[in-house]
Amino acid sequence: MLTKPVRVLVLMCSTRPGALGPLVGQWLAETLTPHAAELGVELVPVALSDLDLPFLDEEEHPSSGVYRHEHTRRWSAIVDAADGFIAVTPEYNYGMPATLKNALDYLSREWAWKPIGFVSYGHTSAGTRSVQHAKQVVTTLRLVPLGATVAIRIGEAMESGRLRSDAARDTAGVGLLDELVRVAHALRPLRERARPETLSGPLPGSYVRRLTPDDASEALVLQRCCWVDEAVVNDTLAIPALHESLEEVRDWLATWHTTGIWLDGRLLGMVRARRVDTDWHVGRLAVVPDLRGQGLGRWLLRTAEADAQPDCRRVLLFTGAKSLRNIDLYHSEGYQSVPLADPDGITCLAKDMSVRQC
């Protein structure tokens, strides 16, 4: 389970004065907000009329990510931070509003591998032709349109200037949110893989990125399953990695540089590092038990060393005195044991950075 809320933008697509969109958006917010809280979803309303996007005026193709105008950079940041979208859209002449098409055309990578659901409204077709038009466009941007939709026929839904109560429509809205959240979770590995800062990993299909406090739950599970073996080998349960709370893991993820290997949304391994005076401290080197012996630990160790600042004199790490497998790995990578004043079952190993730089 992710510790980061799923961020869903509710796009109000019509910019026409007096449009029905705000009433539909108000109904949607009132209907979905209680269920969104249960699911850990952050609903963020965005009116396209507030973005001040002119017709696409960027010189470079959106796939380049080179944006000259501030309005584009602002829109890019809003979309990039989202995990999914709900478009509240009317139907104009058998199609979606030009404002929605224009907003989609401005960006490329920011849309990729995110679900989008539609709440449409109109007369004869309840806006469904607008949705079909939009689906042709969003799939080109690698957005994933949902099967669940909400379609509102204006003549039947309106009464005295407001939407009539409709239990079936409420149920459809909640179902739309449920499906969107499930798809957003399923697409998360593809979104991460597509990000510019994500690198290819050591296993086919794996990727590497820095862990953040939002990854605390995955890091907690990984270290607990990995340090059970260390507890058995060293005959002690006094190992911090076995007892840290979710908040404690979140705290150190905010201060350590932690690299994680991922595959299909699963955290396979991690290592953390940070500077202390002139030393580069490396720790929490962990690999899932079913993938040990495939070189992931050695790869992570070398990655952590490569992140050391140039003026650091040595790399330091600690392990249990009886963790012979770990110690053999570190010795094979050029580490030497360092005497400790109060070892208490702990072994310290160090590697001269000048050896690494030669």
Which of 191, 215, 240 delimits the end of a domain? 191
Query: Could you report the per-residue pLDDT of 204-251, keeping only the tens digit for each?
Result: 999 999 999 999 999 999 999 999 999 999 988 889 999 999 999 999
DSSP H helical ranges for the chain: 21-39, 70-80, 98-105, 128-140, 154-157, 167-194, 216-234, 240-243, 246-255, 296-306, 324-332, 353-357
Region of residue 58 (left: phi > 0; alpha: psi -120 to 50; beta: else): beta
pLDDT band at residue 341 under the 50/70/90 scheme: low
pLDDT at 1: 45
Q: What is the dihedral of CA 133, 114, 41, 23, to 10 degrees?
A: -20
Residue 358 has pLDDT above 50, yes or no: no
Query: Could you report the per-residue pLDDT of 254-287, keeping only the tens digit for each?
Result: 999 999 999 988 999 999 999 999 999 999 999 9
Q: Which of 192-196, 239-243, 342-346 has the highest mean pLDDT?
A: 239-243
Q: Are 52 and 141 contained in the same domain?
A: yes
Q: Are 187 and 253 contained in the same domain?
A: no
Q: Are 181 and 66 contained in the same domain?
A: yes
Element (H, E) at 6: strand 6-12
| Count of alpha carbons within 13 angstroms of residue 19, beta-carbon side | 23
Proportion of the chain above pLDDT 70, given as a percent? 97
Q: Are 141 and 236 contained in the same domain?
A: no
Q: Are 105 and 19 contained in the same domain?
A: yes
Q: Are 53 and 129 contained in the same domain?
A: yes
Q: What is the DSSP letter of 215?
A: G
Q: Are 343 and 284 contained in the same domain?
A: yes
Report the alpha-carbon distance of residue 320 to residue 165 in Å, rounded.
64
Which of 132, 164, 191 delimits the end of a domain? 191
Q: What is the dihedral of CA 221, 227, 231, 237, to 10 degrees?
A: -50
Residue at token pair 């004043």: 341
pLDDT band at residue 316 under the 50/70/90 scheme: very high
Q: Are 147 and 259 contained in the same domain?
A: no
Asked if the structure places residue 196 within a domain, the reply is no
Q: Which of 106, 116, 110 is nearest to 136 (CA)?
A: 116
Report the alpha-carbon distance of residue 296 to residue 292 in Å, rounded.
7
Higher-pLDDT residue of 8 and 4 is 8
Asked if the structure places residue 59 within a domain, the reply is yes
Q: Are 172 and 265 contained in the same domain?
A: no
Proportion of the chain above pLDDT 90, given as a percent? 81
Range of the structural domain that residue 45 is part of: 6-191
Give me the mean pLDDT over the 182-195 stretch: 92
Q: What is the DSSP letter of 205?
A: T
| Largest Cα–Cα separation, the chain | 82
Residue 2 has pLDDT above 80, yes or no: no
Over the chain, what is the mean pLDDT?
93
Region of residue 40 (left: phi > 0; alpha: psi -120 to 50; beta: else): left
Q: Which of 211, 199, 200 is nearest to 257 (CA)?
A: 211
> How many domains would you assign to the chain?
2
Q: Are 51 and 79 in contact (CB under 8 A)?
A: no
Residue 196 has pLDDT above 90, yes or no: no
Give me the mean pLDDT over the 296-321 stretch: 94
Residue 191 has pLDDT above 70, yes or no: yes
Q: Are 338 and 350 in contact (CB under 8 A)?
A: yes
Mean pLDDT check: name the lowest of 76-80, 195-199, 292-296. 195-199
Q: Are 213 and 289 contained in the same domain?
A: yes
Residue 253 has pLDDT above 90, yes or no: yes
DSSP H helical ranges for 261-295: none
Whether the CA torsion 157, 163, 164, 167 is positive or negative: it is positive
Residue at token pair 């992570």: 300
Which of 132, 166, 191 delimits the end of a domain? 191
Backbone angles phi, psi at 237, to 5 degrees: -100, 5
Give me the mean pLDDT over the 93-110 stretch: 96
pLDDT band at residue 104 under the 50/70/90 scheme: very high
pLDDT band at residue 100 under the 50/70/90 scheme: very high
Residue 181 has pLDDT above 70, yes or no: yes
Q: Are 217 and 177 contained in the same domain?
A: no
pLDDT at 357: 47
pLDDT at 350: 95
CATH number for the domain harbouring residue 146: 3.40.50.360
Terminal-residue alpha carbon distance, the chain: 44
Instruction: Name the amino acid, one letter, at 7.
Output: R
Asked if the structure places residue 198 within a domain, the reply is no
Asked if the structure places residue 199 within a domain, the reply is no
